[in-house]
A and B are shown apart, each in its own frame.
Chain A
Amino acid sequence: MLELDGVGYGYEGAPHALRDVSLRIDAKQLVALAGPNGSGKSTLLKLAARVLMPHAGIVRFDGRALKEWNGKEYARRVGYLPQDPDPTFPMKAIDVVVSGRAPFLGRFTWESDADFEAAEEALALCDASPLAERYLDEMSGGERKRVFLARVLAAKPQLILLDEPLAALDVSHVQQFSALLRDVVDRTGATVVFAAHDLNWAAAYSDRMLVMQRGALALHAPPSEVLRTEVVRALFGFEGMTVETNGRKWIVPKT
């Protein structure tokens, strides 16, 4: 459903933030986007979200180049969650979530009952229904993450792009949220691509992994092929060893 063909992007001071990236992501998959800080994960997500336009190459969704898509039409199919979303002024969770329906609204129109139903459904899917009437600034980091995921889900997108959704969560919330992402893919049939710098949690529930290195795509493989000592050494410069519990691989420091 999402295709990148020789995609490049540069910023002022970082002309090669992304270099010649080609890849294809299929439907109904949980895809983890891993790689060291500054390897181009966020840039890749922004290009896929139509927030940035590529300087080289083509990004396609459903076979059509992104610049040919109308912004609102695209936003109805592809949802994006930036790293630290913050609405500046105090807002209720339900208002935040229902604002995810914005791409469906015309001018001079308000959200309909159907939009609020979609918002409540999304909150329920994220186990966040009790938060509906609470204000964002009174919530914990984990609760806010759920609300913002619900905001993306409210539009019922086919492709969901999440930038570092596990950052700043404690370990039990990381586990819950990773499982939630798996759940979203299984229950809605959407494809989720999420950036994560913790290799183990990136791998834990995902179907495929994309590993970035200095702006290039270094590896596109199932998690079991990424969590190998020689691969981790080559890509991250990390001396580790793998341990297996309940059929799941983890990479830990070599003692």
Chain B
Amino acid sequence: MRIEDDEETKSRDGAREPRIAKPSSILNPQSSILLVALLLSIALALATGATKLSLTALWQGDEIAKAIFFSLRLPRVLLGALVGATLATAGITFQTLLRNPLADPFILGVSGGAAAGAAVSTALGWARVPGLVPLVAFVGACGATGVVFLLARRREHTDPTRLLLSGLVLNAFFSAVILFSFALSRQSDLTAALRWMMGTLFGATWTNVALLAILLAVALAVLSWIANDLRMLVFGEEDARSRGVDVERIKLIGFLTGSVVTGAAVAVSGIIGFVGLLVPHLIRLIWRRDFRHLLPLSAIGGAILVVLADLLSRSLVAFSELPIGAFTALLGVPFFLSLLRRER
């Protein structure tokens, strides 16, 4: 009977040869669709703005049109794409490492550390020195991650539950620091700080774009380098270890990479929520594959979401910019819920 079974399987194999989607390159159908969507979103975002830009004016070298396009709109849209890609990259990495679908880039105290750094430097009046607040925020983010890691480490082992709890507690502590700092800040400094806390791409510079692009490229390279090992962690640490994975090393590299790029993203754009949590889930609901597939797809998905959210935040009302974080949620949540319903 078993021999018959085998023959049956073989003949079926012949017929269903292409049934296994083998993603042998980055340019598979999924990522191509997403890349086209990203390019369309970027084009739409570049074409829309408070000042109407005509393509012909730009082509003919109109100085004002050039200035608006190259020093305001283009860096802002590109920075948005990079921030989104960075947050989604960190999100999928943390969800895989912690084996927790609720993990997001801010879970290890990164956002709290960055926000506390920004709040304290605002209270000290450093906001008037350009570039200083983002720098302190970045230092705060990296410092917070370091502290969380030290708290969670015991006997040369980093326990995921202790990591989550340490991050949570540290974020609570940072909330207190932020409240105190705000109470002691000058009214005029406070507006900028609040805007930063809500997430904004206002004032994007080419320097920021270049810095974040380099960091993201390095992070993606590092994560791809460990991807074959990292994806095995979803089966549990003991299982991964039995497959020859150096679990502690992979965790350390993964967490540090994710935290540093998150810190950089937060430093240049403030706290943009939901991207790191929602995008990996959205991607996973559509293409249920492992970390190696989800990493590039999430990065592109995150870029699309933030570019579109920023477009809405700056173009819906004429007199002010609305917080991007609100729009990432407004765009992501209905899409997410409809997918979730279809699942059931």
Contact = CB atoms under 8 A, between A and B. Distances in A.
Given A82-B242, A108-B228, A110-B23, 13 more contacts: A75-B243, A87-B234, A90-B288, A92-B288, A103-B244, A107-B228, A108-B224, A108-B225, A113-B22, A120-B13, A129-B5, A132-B19, A135-B288
B239 A103 contact: no
The winner among B5, B235, B284 for most chain A CB atoms within 10 A is B235
Contacts of B128: none
25 contacts: A51-B238, A51-B241, A51-B242, A71-B244, A75-B242, A75-B243, A75-B244, A76-B244, A82-B238, A85-B235, A88-B100, A90-B288, A91-B288, A95-B289, A99-B231, A102-B229, A102-B243, A107-B225, A107-B228, A110-B23, A111-B22, A116-B20, A120-B13, A127-B5, A129-B9
A172 interface: no
B312 interface: no
Interface string A73-97: 1111011101001111111101100
B162 to A, nearest CB: 14
Nearest to B288: A90
Contacts of A51: 238, 241-242
B236 interface: yes
- Contact-residue size bin, chain A (C-beta under 8 Å from the other chain): 35 or more
Contacts of B241: 50-51, 71
Interface in B180-206: none
B299 to A, nearest CB: 17
B24 A82 contact: no
A82 B288 contact: no
A72 interface: yes
B284 A89 contact: yes
Interface in A141-192: none
A115 to B, nearest CB: 10
A46 interface: yes
Nearest to B242: A80
B101 A88 contact: yes
A49 interface: yes
Given A99-B290, A116-B20, A50 B242 contact: yes
B165 interface: no
A50 B234 CA distance: 19
A82 B239 contact: yes
Nearest to B284: A89
Interface string B106-125: 00000000000000000000
Contacts of A99: 231-232, 235, 290
Per DSSP, chain B at the interface is helix
B244 A72 contact: yes
A231 interface: no
Nearest to A109: B228
A88 B2 CA distance: 33
B248 interface: no
B66 interface: no
Nearest to B232: A102
Contacts of A50: 241-242
Given A75-B243, A90-B288, A95-B289, A110 B234 contact: no
The winner among A80, A88, A105 for most chain B CB atoms within 10 A is A88
Nearest to B19: A133
B159 interface: no
A198 B35 CA distance: 55
Nearest to A117: B13
B63 interface: no
The list of the 5 closest CB pairs from A to B, nearest first, reads A71-B244, A72-B244, A75-B244, A80-B242, A49-B242
Interface string A202-230: 00000000000000000000000000000
B62 interface: no
A139 interface: no
Interface string A23-51: 00000000000000000000000100111
A245 interface: no
A65 interface: no
Contacts of B99: 88
A224 to B, nearest CB: 28
B236 to A, nearest CB: 6
A13 to B, nearest CB: 13
Contacts of B244: 70-76, 102-103
Contacts of B12: 129
A36 to B, nearest CB: 22
Contact of B6 (A79, A105, A124): A124
Contacts of B235: 85-87, 99
A124 B5 contact: yes
A72 B99 CA distance: 22
B22 A110 contact: yes
B215 interface: no
A10 B138 CA distance: 42
Contacts of B72: none
B151 interface: no
Nearest to B239: A82
Nearest to B155: A12
A87 B236 CA distance: 7
Contacts of B101: 88-89
Nearest to B98: A88
Nearest to B224: A108
A88 B234 contact: yes
Contacts of A124: 5-6, 9
Interface in B279-322: 284, 288-290, 292
Nearest to B233: A88
